[in-house]
Chains A and B, each alone.
Chain A
Amino acid sequence: QQQVKQSPQSLIVQKGGIPIINCAYENTAFDYFPWYQQFPGKGPALLIAIRPDVSEKKEGRFTISFNKSAKQFSLHIMDSQPGDSATYFCAASVGEETSGSRLTFGEGTQLTVNP
């Protein structure tokens, strides 16, 4: 059972465009939503994360939008660059300090930014 569904599977944009990657979750207990960026041959790296008490978070050119009622969240990349070409994963977890955290990942989106 895939608890976090991610779309699209692949995405191609031109330099300067704003790719948007969407994720939907089922488990209402999730309270921590990170995004990871992965380059070929490397492990995923934490990009940005949000908790459900805010609707938007920005870090540099990366923005997470969060809609708690719809159980959806999305990643926007402003002024995208060829160096942003990578696979992006959304994830979700129940983050309690004393009990650890199990990340549930979406299927991944392969982003290509053409020069």
Chain B
Amino acid sequence: NAGVTQTPKFQVLKTGQSMTLQCAQDMNHEYMSWYRQDPGMGLRLIHYSVGAGITDQGEVPNGYNVSRSTTEDFPLRLLSAAPSQTSVYFCASSTFSLGGYGYTFGSGTRLTVV
């Protein structure tokens, strides 16, 4: 059981470039999310999905796009990278269990935009 797999682990982009951060889970979880982590700000929700074909915006969605064509995959697209998007990105998946959602996080993608 791999859990939540994120690729790449590290990436450097030039301003204006686009790229896709990959996320895959093998736990058959219906819920998947993308968070960004910045120092002193905790984790902030970018986009989330409650099932294949269904996505919605989180707290900081601008500059990012998502789609969910399968239960397993939830890629995050940066449309035109900006230095403000330098951050560590985490993908997470969850299912409803024991009265709440215990999210399982991937190991993160550290993105630097120069």
Residues of A within 8 A of B (CB): 4, 6, 9, 31-32, 34, 36, 41-46, 49, 51, 89, 93, 95, 97, 99-108
Contact = CB atoms under 8 A, between A and B. Distances in A.
A103 B103 CA distance: 9
Nearest to B101: A101
Interface of B: 4, 30-31, 33, 35, 40-45, 48, 50, 58, 90, 92, 94, 96, 98-108
A104 B41 CA distance: 11
A51 B100 contact: yes
Contact of B48 (A6, A42, A45, A100): A100
Contacts of B58: 102
B45 A102 contact: yes
> Which one of A43, A101, A102, A104 has the greatest number of beta carbons of chain B within 10 Å?
A43
Contacts of A31: 100
A103 B101 contact: yes
Contact of A9 (B40, B48, B94): B40
30 contacts: A6-B42, A32-B100, A34-B102, A41-B107, A41-B108, A42-B107, A43-B4, A43-B105, A43-B108, A44-B90, A44-B105, A46-B103, A49-B100, A89-B42, A89-B43, A93-B100, A97-B96, A99-B50, A100-B30, A100-B48, A100-B101, A101-B31, A101-B100, A102-B45, A102-B58, A104-B45, A105-B43, A105-B44, A106-B42, A107-B41
Given A106-B42, A107-B40, A107-B41, A45 B105 contact: yes
A42 to B, nearest CB: 6
Given A95-B96, A100-B48, A46 B102 contact: yes
A106 B37 CA distance: 11
A105 B94 contact: no
Contacts of B100: 31-32, 34, 49, 51, 93, 95, 101
Contacts of A107: 40-42
Contacts of B30: 100
Contacts of B41: 107
